[in-house]
Amino acid sequence: MLLVSLLLHLLLPALSYLPFFSQHSIEKPPVYRVNLVNKIVKNPQAGRPEATPVKKKPVVKPKSKPKPKPAVKPKPVPPKPKPIPVKPKPIPPKPKPAKVKPKPAAKVKPVPKKPQPKPAVSRVQKNNLQKRLEQMRAAKQKKASEQARKDRIAALKAAALAESSNIRSPIDAAPVGMADGTGNEAGVSAIAFVQEFIQQQWSFSKYQATGAPEAEVKLFYNAEGTLLHYKFLKKSENSIFDDSLLRAIAKSRQLPQELPEAMSFEIVFNLKDMLAKP
Amino acid sequence: MKHFKIYFLNIMIVCLLCSPAVAARIEISSPGEQTIPLAMTRLLPMGVGGAQPAIAAEFQQVLQGDLELSGLFDLTDPAAFLSDAGKLGLRRNEIDFYQWRMLGAEGLIKGGYRIAGGKLTIELRLFDVISQRLLTGRRYSGKLTDVRKIAHTFADQVLKSLTGEKGPFATKIAYISKRTGHKELYLMDVDGYKPVRLTNHRSIVLNPDFSPTRKELIFTSYSQENPDLYRKEIYTGRESRVSLKPGLNIGGRYSPDGREIALTLSKDKNSEIYLLGTDGTIHRRLTNHYSIDVDPSWSPEGDRIAFVSDRRGNPNIFIVDVHTLEVTRLTFEGKYNATPAWSPKGGRIAYSRMDNGVFNVFTIREDGTDERQLTFGSGSKEHPRWSPDGRFLVYSNDLQDGEKSIWIMRADGTGGRKISARGGHDSHPAWSHRW
């Protein structure tokens, strides 16, 4: 029985080489950046992860067809004048006597009468008008401040978007994908996305660096992109460096996009690239 | 056999269950943000004592200046601050960290002050916004005039919390100034504030250096006709001549333990580097060459000294081993390399090199590799000296208007700023140890 147990224990290391026990191999950090606006897909196509997604808006262009409408509008205008010259023809003989009579009468009567009713009506109207004007002004101000607020938010959003899509692709008009993509979906891989996102959350100054610290952290995300838990596989022995990683992890609690499935990432953090710069 | 099969199956199941989910391995070899986003609120009055906005403003200006010079931080624009900035909450549970996180800050400095009976008390806190943790908290008490000192001291503390090593902002810089018409020794704060004249020799004073263990300086003065080495106690003002050998007694530098002084003497008609006791007695001659050997600078371990020699034709930097007296050449580029200063953290040596009649500051590794030019431009930048933490360099800058002034910069050459006031023709700076 002991022999069997021994044999079985010896078998275990051999079993670990079977295909269903996958081997971990560290992926060399890619030299490209990832535009975080790009969608995470399971099978990214060949392309550039930093490329800006092309919006297919040319479909909207047919709207330009209604533009000729203004040309149609003038058309009804010319017919209008046509009846006008017809109507005046019978009118001219009538006004002639009418014009003569009212002139003297109207000159005397309306002058004293008009001032009397005007104040009575205009006070109420004026009050109403003023109220309406005030309401309109208030509504206008509210609308303006609301618009200003919306503009500010839009400007902030635009700035944030510009910031996030600040990465310029070296290849113009490249399709969104991965450099080694073999799939058929326009988007980026979850690994590349997570790498870029967590890197952006990580703040550490070269003036804090001493030696060549390196730490390894395992992060577990669910399919919604929520960090379930994490653990340090290796600490750097530099508490300042490790604290900066904790902050980066805390800021990465929620990914801005969903993942294709629940995933875990073993991330090696170091300062190789930063310290290589003079 | 049946038992064996079951046993094997069980082991397989356990192995499968215990094996971790496939984890993608990635490497992040550079942070995305290479400064720490820090928000610093204005000091608010504590208690019922009268508010003195000038105190808060001065404190803010000094602390901000120090933190900006460090190069560590990206300070959040106060115009973006939300309501929490107006609240004097110095405890974790009194702070709305969410507001600060929305502004992108990772660090937050909050503080309050109280003035009672002419005594100033300032309470300060540095929080980690992300983990909502208190990183450091201090209460300082002093006179109203101590507000700048308190700001510098807290800046040092902030750097200690975020880098593991204190900053050098609460230290002093000695320098030579000609504002009285004579070259005299002065002392000022690291930001150039509060310059104080220490000597009144009405002659030429040169080359100051701070004792690493006591509040005293050594310097060379021509006040007795000969360039002799003097020592001056800063607070008592007591002064004495340490070395008055015939000829030069110049470029004195304390050893890291403060027990010896490396000095250039020309008592034998040729300038050589010697080791002296602090009482002025000669302990040892370090160089013995017909050329001119000047400007010694100790390694932080105290086992080697960098100096300038023209033994190969042009002035260059050499290193002598204090124990074996073996001399090795450090610089090969350029025709005129002078005034070496060994970083107190080791590793690099700063010096000035003249090209086309203009000096600029360079650094080089102590093995002679990785030479880097730190300053550029037309004015001569000379006499570099390190801050006690090795993060900064102070140097004299002779701008084209004919006015020499004292400048400060980070050890990588960035963030250069003038610290001495106009009209002094200031040179030969030296940075004190921890004050």
Run of H or E residues at B6: helix B2-18
Residues from chain A contacting residue B11 (CB–CB below 8 Å): 8, 12
Q: Do A207 and B71 touch (CB under 8 A)?
A: yes
What confidence score (pLDDT) does residue B39 get? 96
User: Which residue, among B9, B17, B25, would best test binding to A if mutated, counting the most A CBs under 10 Å from its CB?
Assistant: B25
Partner B contacted by A152 (CB < 8 A): no
Residues from chain B contacting residue A267 (CB–CB below 8 Å): 25-28
What confidence score (pLDDT) does residue A156 get? 62
Q: Do A29 and B19 touch (CB under 8 A)?
A: no
User: Which residue, among B4, B27, B76, would best test binding to A if mutated, counting the most A CBs under 10 Å from its CB?
Assistant: B27
Confidence band for A152, pLDDT divided at 50, 70 and 90: low
Partner B contacted by A164 (CB < 8 A): no
Q: DSSP code of A208?
A: G
The answer for B 329-368 residues in CB contact with A (under 8 A) is none
Q: Tell me which residue in A22, A199, A207 faces B72 most closely, judged by beta carbons.
A: A207
Residues from chain A contacting residue B106 (CB–CB below 8 Å): 203, 247
What confidence score (pLDDT) does residue A42 get? 83
- Residue B95, both tokens: 């702070």
The candidate with the shortest Cα–Cα distance to A216, out of A205, A231, A238, A229, is: A231
Name the minimum distance, in Å, from the CA of B255 to any CA of chain A.
25
Q: Do A239 and B164 touch (CB under 8 A)?
A: yes
- Rounded Cα–Cα distance for residues B255 and A171 (Å): 58
Per-residue pLDDT tens over the stretch A183-227: 888 888 899 999 999 999 999 998 998 889 999 999 999 999 999
- Report the pLDDT averaged over residues A35-45: 83
How far is C-alpha B378 from the chain's CA centre? Answer: 25
Name the minimum distance, in Å, from the CA of A60 to any CA of chain B.
36
- Give me the domains of chain B, ranges plus CATH numbers: 35-163 (3.40.50.10070), 172-431 (2.120.10.30)
- For residues B25 and A264, is the Cβ–Cβ distance under 8 A? no
Per-residue pLDDT tens over the stretch A162-171: 555 456 666 6
Residues from chain A contacting residue B30 (CB–CB below 8 Å): 199, 271-274
Partner A contacted by B32 (CB < 8 A): yes
CA angle A224, A226, A229 (to 5 degrees): 135
What confidence score (pLDDT) does residue A132 get? 85
Q: Do B26 and A194 touch (CB under 8 A)?
A: yes
Name the minimum distance, in Å, from the CA of A275 to any CA of chain B.
8
Q: Do B29 and A262 touch (CB under 8 A)?
A: no
Which has more confidence, B5 or A54? Answer: A54
Q: Do B24 and A191 touch (CB under 8 A)?
A: yes
Contacts of A274 (CB under 8 A, 6+ apart): A204, A206, A209, B29, B30, B31, B34
- Residue B336, both tokens: 């005129």
Q: Do B30 and A273 touch (CB under 8 A)?
A: yes
Partner A contacted by B142 (CB < 8 A): no
Partner A contacted by B369 (CB < 8 A): no
What confidence score (pLDDT) does residue A163 get? 56
Q: Do A243 and B372 touch (CB under 8 A)?
A: no
What confidence score (pLDDT) does residue B391 get? 96
What confidence score (pLDDT) does residue A109 get? 44
Strand, helix or coil for residue B418: strand
Partner B contacted by A198 (CB < 8 A): yes
Partner A contacted by B164 (CB < 8 A): yes
Partner A contacted by B162 (CB < 8 A): yes
Which has more confidence, B372 or A115? Answer: B372
Q: Tell me which residue in A199, A205, A262 faces B28 most closely, judged by beta carbons.
A: A199
Number of CB pairs, chain A paired with chain B, less than 8 A apart: 138
Name the minimum distance, in Å, from the CA of A214 to any CA of chain B.
9
Residues from chain B contacting residue A268 (CB–CB below 8 Å): 25-28
Q: Tell me which residue in B15, B28, B72 faces A267 most closely, judged by beta carbons.
A: B28
The answer for A 173-192 residues in CB contact with B (under 8 A) is 190-191
- For residues A186 and A39, is the Cβ–Cβ distance under 8 A? yes
- Rounded Cα–Cα distance for residues B94 and B87 (Å): 9
User: Which residue, among B18, B28, B69, would best test binding to A if mutated, counting the most A CBs under 10 Å from its CB?
Assistant: B28
What confidence score (pLDDT) does residue B275 get? 97
- Residue A219, both tokens: 């992060």
Give yes or no for residue A79 having a pLDDT over 50.
Answer: no
The answer for B 104-133 residues in CB contact with A (under 8 A) is 106, 128, 130-131
Burial class (CB in 10 A: 0-12, 13-18, 19+), B174: buried
- pLDDT tens for chain B, residues 1 to 435: 556 566 655 655 544 444 445 788 999 999 999 999 999 999 999 987 678 899 999 999 999 999 999 999 999 999 999 999 999 889 999 999 999 999 999 999 999 999 988 899 999 999 999 999 999 999 999 999 999 999 999 999 999 999 999 999 999 999 999 999 999 999 999 999 999 999 999 999 999 999 999 999 999 999 999 999 999 999 999 999 999 999 999 999 999 999 999 999 999 989 999 999 999 999 999 999 999 999 999 999 999 999 999 999 999 999 999 999 999 999 999 999 999 999 999 899 999 999 999 999 999 999 999 999 999 988 999 999 999 999 999 999 998 677 899 999 999 999 999 999 888 899 999 999 988
Name the minimum distance, in Å, from the CA of A78 to any CA of chain B.
58
CA angle A126, A128, A131 (to 5 degrees): 105
- Residue count of chain A: 278
Per-residue pLDDT tens over the stretch A14-32: 665 555 554 444 444 455 7
Residues from chain A contacting residue B26 (CB–CB below 8 Å): 26-27, 29, 191, 194-195, 265-268
Q: Do A263 and B20 touch (CB under 8 A)?
A: no
Q: Tell me which residue in A25, A198, A207 faces B163 most closely, judged by beta carbons.
A: A207
What confidence score (pLDDT) does residue B299 get? 97
- For residues A215 and A236, is the Cβ–Cβ distance under 8 A? yes
Q: Do A269 and B131 touch (CB under 8 A)?
A: no
Which has more confidence, A15 or A7? Answer: A7
Q: What is the DSSP string of B247-264?
A: S-EEEEEE-TTSSEEEEE
Confidence band for A155, pLDDT divided at 50, 70 and 90: low
Partner A contacted by B11 (CB < 8 A): yes
Partner A contacted by B3 (CB < 8 A): no
Partner B contacted by A23 (CB < 8 A): no
The candidate with the shortest Cα–Cα distance to B354, out of B387, B321, B316, is: B316
What confidence score (pLDDT) does residue A50 get? 80
The answer for B 210-229 residues in CB contact with A (under 8 A) is none
Q: Tell me which residue in A8, A220, A248 faces B8 most closely, judged by beta carbons.
A: A8
What confidence score (pLDDT) does residue A70 get? 47
